[in-house]
């Protein structure tokens, strides 16, 4: 495939697990963008694809959405990230990192350099080099944009996602230059022997072996998408990422305009919905929902 990266199978658990551990969760807003509502929430009918691309839709009707990343503080493993958000250069020149196609698609990105995950970590007294592990929900450009900023980290990504991202490329939304580094990539095999069910999720992998960070398989948005269930001190949190763009996707059981696989997408949405019903005190964080984002606290113990 001609890439600098030579991923290896993940050997779980990753080091640092502590019995009974919980994590602190810091949601990080790395920028915002706008998109047509019909992109996030599928519409029916002949014109649906036009609306999804925003054709003939006035800008005032587009949705403003957050581009998040998440910092976890784990008692044994230290600082861990979920996704990387936007690269600091996007604040100045989106095209350089996102490429021509994506920077056209992600119109009107708003970011200031201080919103980059690295800058936010430093303000919290954490040097980016201290981040030992980064869990990638998937490799779309608004999630993978800042991978280059964490050369010393172990990147955990599903095997199916890696295969898709390295074989499909730009037409499916991946920007290879964002992840094409000789970094320590570890592939999670959701078909492998370590997989177990967790709560309503058919396939999960316990990252540190202590139940504090569980990757749950939620493919459909992309071929190898995963979400993350966290054990906080008093409750659980589900970082759904793009398995759920907006709360409305979940509430109305509506897919987004584009998925890699509708059937899988629907199944993942159903597993998440049942999780939310069975775990009513869990914090459910959708991937790109501004209202939900605004309700989040700066940090969760």
> Minimum Å distance from CB 14 to Zn ion?
24
Beta strands in the chain (DSSP E): 8-9, 24-36, 62-74, 78-82, 133-135, 154-158, 184-188, 196-198, 201-206, 213-217, 226-231, 236-241, 283-286
> Minimum Å distance from CB 220 to Zn ion?
11
Distance separating the N- and C-terminal Cα atoms of the chain: 42
Q: Toward Zn ion, which CB reaches closer, 62 or 208?
A: 62
Residues forming the site for Zn ion (CB under 5 A): 140, 242
Q: Which residues pair with 66 in a beta bridge?
A: 32
Residue nearest to Zn ion (CB): 140
Q: Toward Zn ion, which CB reaches closer, 184 or 242?
A: 242
> Minimum Å distance from CB 170 to Zn ion?
14
Within 10 angstroms of residue 136's Cβ, the number of other Cβ atoms is: 28
Closest by Cα among 162, 301, 300, 157 to 241: 157
> Minimum Å distance from CB 142 to Zn ion?
7
Q: Which residues pair with 198 in a beta bridge?
A: 201
Distance CA 285, CA 265 (A): 17
> Minimum Å distance from CB 245 to Zn ion?
8
> Minimum Å distance from CB 225 to Zn ion?
8
Cβ atoms 200, 274 nearer than 8 A: yes
Q: Toward Zn ion, which CB reaches closer, 12 or 139?
A: 139
Q: Toward Zn ion, which CB reaches closer, 194 or 261?
A: 261
Q: Toward Zn ion, which CB reaches closer, 168 or 279?
A: 168
Q: Report long-range pairs for 260-267 (Cβ below 8 Å, ≥24 apart).
A: 260/164, 260/172, 260/219, 260/220, 260/221, 260/222, 260/223, 261/219, 261/220, 261/223, 262/220, 263/220, 264/219, 264/220, 265/219, 265/220, 265/221, 266/220, 267/220
Both tokens assigned to 108:
């009107």
Q: Toward Zn ion, which CB reaches closer, 172 or 273?
A: 172
Q: Toward Zn ion, which CB reaches closer, 208 or 217?
A: 217
> Minimum Å distance from CB 56 to Zn ion?
24
């Amino acid at each position: 495939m001609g890439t600098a990266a030579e991923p290896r199978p993940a050997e779980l658990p990753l080091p640092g697990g502590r019995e009974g551990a919980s994590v602190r969760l810091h949601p990080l807003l790395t920028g915002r963008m706008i998109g047509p509502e019909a992109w996030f929430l599928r519409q029916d009918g002949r014109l649906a694809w036009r609306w999804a691309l925003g054709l003939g839709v006035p800008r005032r009707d587009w949705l403003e959405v957050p581009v998040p990343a998440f910092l976890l503080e784990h008692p044994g493993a230290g600082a861990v990230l979920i996704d990387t958000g936007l690269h600091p250069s996007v604040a100045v020149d989106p095209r350089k990192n996102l490429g021509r196609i994506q920077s056209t698609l992600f119109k009107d990105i708003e970011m200031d350099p201080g919103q980059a995950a690295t800058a936010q970590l430093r303000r919290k007294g954490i040097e980016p080099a201290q981040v030992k592990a980064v869990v990638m929900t998937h490799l779309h450009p608004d999630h993978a944009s800042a991978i280059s900023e964490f050369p010393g980290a172990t990147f955990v990504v599903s095997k199916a996602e890696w295969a898709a991202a390295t074989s499909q490329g730009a037409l499916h939304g991946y920007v290879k230059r964002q992840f094409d580094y000789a970094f320590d990539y570890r592939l999670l095999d959701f078909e492998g022997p370590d997989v177990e069910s967790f709560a309503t999720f058919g396939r999960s992998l316990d990252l540190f072996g202590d139940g504090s960070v569980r990757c749950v398989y939620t493919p459909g948005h992309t071929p190898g998408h995963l979400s993350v269930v966290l054990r906080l001190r008093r409750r659980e949190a589900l970082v759904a990422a793009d398995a759920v763009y907006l709360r409305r996707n979940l509430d109305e059981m509506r897919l987004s305009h584009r998925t890699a696989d509708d059937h899988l997408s629907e199944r993942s949405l159903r597993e998440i919905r049942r999780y939310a019903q069975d775990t009513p005190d869990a914090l459910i964080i959708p991937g790109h929902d501004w209202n939900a984002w605004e309700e989040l606290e700066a940090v969760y113990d």
